[in-house]
Amino acid sequence: MYAIVNIAGKQTKVEANKFVYAHRLAGNVGDEVQLGKALLTDDNGTLTIGSPLLDVTVTGTILAHVKGDKVLVFKKKRRKGYKKLNGHRQQFTKVMINSIG
């Protein structure tokens, strides 16, 4: 069984007993979080689509707060001597999905 859930403004496919990376969520490591209502569920081929939401809640446990890969932003204007290099690492939360339903 899997579900499509809206987590922090992003639609994410989640399955029970697997983990996902979501944008930084409030809470400490080991806390139980409720990820909101599902937009779509699939239970062994039976597809249920909400309009717009279903009454299915997804719960998970926060495993860790981690950083994503570094993204380099380089700006340059030719013949002007202007160069700028910035880096950014996005904050993520690793969440283990406990149950769907």
Domain count, the chain: 1
What is the Cα–Cα distance from 101 to 87, expressed in whole angstroms? Answer: 40
Kindly report, residue by residue over 1-51, the tens digit of the pLDDT.
899 999 888 999 999 999 999 999 999 999 999 988 889 999 888 999 988
Residue 94 is predicted with a pLDDT of: 96
> pTM for the complete prediction?
0.81
Q: Tell me the C-alpha to C-alpha distance, in Å, between residue 88 and each of 42, 65, 72, 85, 91.
A: 36, 16, 7, 10, 10
Task: From 41, 32, 37, select the one nearest 60 (Cα to Cα).
Answer: 32
What is the Cα–Cα distance from 62 to 49, expressed in whole angstroms? Answer: 27
What is the Cα–Cα distance from 33 to 98, expressed in whole angstroms? Answer: 10
Q: Which domain holds residue 55?
A: 1-98
pLDDT confidence bin for 52, thresholds 50/70/90:
confident
